[in-house]
């Protein structure tokens, strides 16, 4: 184990992670969106402030999810752009699972992806990835307003690939 991240999370084996203890402050029921742009436009109208971090969770049945996943990498670790060139793209239709993600304010650009960033995991927790597109059909969106941001750097330099994924 190379290091221990905040909250006891091991940071061995991955170059970047955004984590939080999820404690929703706001639940928006009945969210219907035919694609990711519609969902983020909807969320833009419902965020109490655009200058805050939000953890976002959606549990339910999704008409459509398109996600990408990069295979496990081995040392010497390639740059993220090279790793992504071998990514697999999955499409799920009428799938149950969980979408988790973050909204990061514009002021956080460079430290994290500004705006929305979602990952999907099937309900059996065996498949998923970085969300490229998705649709919702009446699911509840939970938001955890998060005013604090802590950055923990990896001393071995494994974090050199940045937060793009
Ligand atoms: Zn991602």
User: pLDDT for 102-154, tens place per residue?
Assistant: 999 998 888 888 999 999 999 999 999 999 999 999 999 999 999 888 888 76
Residue with tokens 């060139």: 85
Q: What is residue 156's predicted lDDT score, i.e. its pLDDT? A: 62
Helix (H) or strand (E) holding 163: none
In this structure, is residue 39 part of a structural domain? Answer: yes
As for how many domains the chain has, the answer is 1
Q: Write the pLDDT tens digit of every residue in 71-108.
A: 888 888 888 788 888 889 999 999 999 999 999 999 88
Q: How far is the CA of 118 from the centre of ligand 1 (A)?
A: 6
Domain region containing 111: 26-146
Q: What is the mean pLDDT of the chain?
A: 86
Helix (H) or strand (E) holding 139: strand 128-146
Question: Which candidate, 133, 128, 142, 125, places its Cα nearest to that of 64?
Answer: 133
In this structure, is residue 18 part of a structural domain? Answer: no
Q: How far is the CA of 69 from the centre of ligand 1 (A)?
A: 9
In this structure, is residue 92 part of a structural domain? Answer: yes
The sign of the torsion formed by the CA atoms of 34, 138, 60, 24 equals: positive
Q: How far is the CA of 156 from the centre of ligand 1 (A)?
A: 22
Q: What is residue 12's predicted lDDT score, i.e. its pLDDT? A: 58
Q: How far is the CA of 164 from the centre of ligand 1 (A)?
A: 7
Q: How far is the CA of 117 from the centre of ligand 1 (A)?
A: 6
Q: How far is the CA of 41 from the centre of ligand 1 (A)?
A: 19
In this structure, is residue 9 part of a structural domain? Answer: no
CATH number at residue 105: 3.30.1330.80
By the CB criterion, residues less than 5 angstroms from ion ligand 1 are: 130, 165
């Amino acid at each position: 184990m190379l290091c221990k991240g905040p909250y006891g999370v091991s940071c061995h084996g991955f170059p970047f992670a955004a984590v939080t203890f999820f404690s929703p402050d706001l639940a928006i029921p009945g969210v219907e969106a035919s694609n990711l742009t519609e969902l983020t436009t909807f969320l833009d109208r419902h965020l109490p402030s655009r200058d805050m971090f939000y953890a976002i969770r959606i549990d339910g049945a999704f008409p459509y999810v398109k996600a990408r996943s990069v295979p496990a990498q081995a040392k010497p670790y390639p740059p993220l752009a090279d790793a992504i060139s071998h990514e697999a793209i999955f499409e799920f239709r009428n799938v149950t699972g969980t979408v988790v993600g973050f909204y990061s304010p514009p002021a956080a650009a460079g430290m994290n992806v500004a705006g929305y960033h979602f990952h999907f995991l099937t309900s059996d927790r065996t498949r998923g990835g970085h969300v490229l597109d998705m649709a919702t059909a009446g699911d509840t969106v939970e938001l955890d307003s998060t005013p604090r941001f802590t950055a923990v750097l990896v001393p071995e330099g494994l974090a050199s690939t940045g937060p793009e994924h």
